[in-house]
């Protein structure tokens, strides 16, 4: 459960692909004799749009966690270098 953003993004992508396939099939059926009304097609597209938004949010959470991890690593390296430079300053005095 460490990286919930990545999991959320993957789940939302899977749902988005399934919705996209369903919407494409229903749009083709609607063009060739119609099973859905226009309002239902528009609602399905809005739900698809929302699912894509959730996918993006999950991916942004994942990127934010990666950036925090990189910042922590840079901070550790900075402390190490600063300590080493202080050792050289003390040695020269």
CB atoms < 10 A from the CB of 78, how many?
10
In order, the DSSP letters of the chain are: -TTHHHHHHHHHHHHHHHHHHHHHHHHHHHHTT-SS-HHHHHHHHHHHHHHHHHHHHHHHHHHHHHHHHHHHHHHHHHHHHHHHHHHHHHHH-
Which residue range forms the structural domain that includes residue 63?
4-92
Residue 93 binned pLDDT confidence (cut-offs 50, 70, 90): low
What total of structural domains would you count in the chain? 1
Chain segment 59-87, per-residue pLDDT in tens: 888 888 888 888 888 888 888 888 878 87
| 16: its two tokens | 């988005």
């Amino acid at each position: 459960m460490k990286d919930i953003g990545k999991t959320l993004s993957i789940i939302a992508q899977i749902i988005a692909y399934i919705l996209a396939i369903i919407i494409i099939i229903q749009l083709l059926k609607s063009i060739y004799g119609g099973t859905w009304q226009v309002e239902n097609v528009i609602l399905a597209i809005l739900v698809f749009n929302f699912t894509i938004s959730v996918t993006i949010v999950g991916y942004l959470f994942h990127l934010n966690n990666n950036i925090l991890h990189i910042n922590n690593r840079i901070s550790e390296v900075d402390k190490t270098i600063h300590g080493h430079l202080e050792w050289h300053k003390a040695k020269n005095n």
